[in-house]
Structure formats: C-alpha cells, structure tokens
Amino acid sequence: MPGPGPHLVYSLGVGTGLMHLSGGWFSPHHCLVYALNSFLGPDLGSFSEWLTSSLGAGEDVGSSLMDFLHHPFYYVLILGVPLAFFYGWLSKVALQRGVLGTISGMPLKRRQCLFLVAAGSFSHFFLDHLFEENGHSPTYMWILSTGWWQERAPNNPDAVVVVGVLTACLLIGFIYINSTCSGKSLVNQTSRSVKLIVVIVLLYCLWCSSQLYWRNPPQPPVGEEADLGVFVFLGVYFFLPHVLCIASIDQKEHLELGEQLPI
C-alpha cells in the first residue's frame, strides 16, 4: 500500500489547491487537519499493530485496533469526535501563538474539524484501495466485478439506448442550465448543475445494478465497463472528501467578514 509520502503529498496538494481557489478561506489550519488525517489517520491502526508486535506485548489489542481503525468509516465513528475536539484546541493554540494564521482570524470549530477528519479518512483510502494488496483488495476486486470479464460482452441495444439517453440528458441539461440566456446567478447555476449530475449518476447506477444484480441471468450494463464500481468509488473516495473540505469552510464568517471589507 502507499507509504506516508504519497498520502501526505496528495492531501497537501489538494489542500493547497483549495486554499488557492477559496482565496484563503480554506486556510492552512484546514489544510493541515485534512492532511494529517489522510497521512496518519487510519494508519494509527497499522501503527498500533506494528508497535505492539515490535514490543511483543498487547498484540491482540494492536490487531483489534488495526481492524477497527484502519477503515474509512470506523475511523470517523470511533475517533471523529475526540479528534475534532483535539484539532479545535490545537487550531486555537496555533492561532494564539502566531504559528499559523487564518484569513478570518478565528480558529477552526469542532464541526469543521469533524468534516476534515472524515475527508482525510476517505482520501486516505482513495490511495489505499487502488494500490494495496497487489491490486487484490476487496474494494478494488468489487469494482472490477461490476465489469464483464467472462467473455466478450454482447452488444445490447437497450444498454446503448439507456446510456445514450442519460449521457445526452447530462450534456444538454448542463448546457441549458449554464447558457447565457438562462438569467440565473452563478451560484444558482452551480447548484442546479450539481443536482443534475447527481440525478443522472443515480439513474446510471440504478441501470447498472438492475442489469448486474436484479436481472436473471445478468447481462453487461455498459459493455465490458465497470461503471457501477467506478461511480461508487469516485463518489465515496474522491468527490465526498472534496465536498467535506468545502463544507468545512465557515460560510457565516465569510459573509460577516465580507460585509466589513470595503467594496
């Protein structure tokens, strides 16, 4: 699986990009909390297992911690709230001592820290699921299982029609929502575009699931492609962490400070 270097570079790279795009509202505090939970986060379970095995004591405890903590959801459920309190306190100390600043002059709140802990955990497994166990991790194998590898996939006219209609609706809908004559604000256009994408993805996944799991005998939903697995993987381990990072930006502070700034 990836070592500390790739996890840290990936998360710091994403965090730095968000800092730039947000004009500093995704602050260095946000970036470090996110990066620490992507870099070390769930690997606390692996570290505890290594430590207890090296010391020759408490190996059962270390192994149990490994099973529970090295997991994208269990890590957040077990340590999310305690870590949110800890990082909130750490952000306050760093701000008071002038170690790291924020554009609002305020430390991270516990709610923001909880979002960043979760985002870090999911980003950690974005790399782990792709590059661990010699490509035979359960998650990666499930992704591939949603493709069609038994023999050459048959040509199914219904799949061509369904996929063609969905992709056409996505492209045409996006162009319509964002057309210059729509008269909508950028925020409204973005919101409607996101809703359109989510609806199309859900319908696409519903089609794939119906062909793979509900049809008897099953048939390939999109030729040989593992689209269902790819959508689920990207949704949970790529897009969700970015959404959580964006959600960790305090919009209230942003608006309040914006009202105080000269136009």
Asked whether 43 and 37 are in contact (CB, 8 A), the reply is no
Instruction: Quote the tokens at residue 99.
Output: 């170690």
Confidence at 135, pLDDT banded by 50, 70, 90 = confident
- pLDDT tens-digit map of 173-232: 999 998 876 667 777 888 899 999 999 999 999 999 999 999 888 888 888 899 999 999
Most confidently modeled range among 3-7, 24-28, 125-129, 200-204:
200-204
**Residue (of 258, 158, 250) closest to 210 by Cα position:** 158
pLDDT for 114 equals: 97
Q: Tell which wins on pLDDT, 8 or 150.
A: 8
Task: Domain ranges for the chain, please list them.
Answer: 4-144+237-260, 153-225
Residues 6+ apart with CB under 8 A from 201: 231, 235
Contact between 10 and 38 (Cβ < 8 Å): yes
Enter the pTM of the model: 0.86
Write out the two tokens for 32: 């470090």
- The pLDDT, as a whole number, for residue 162 is 94
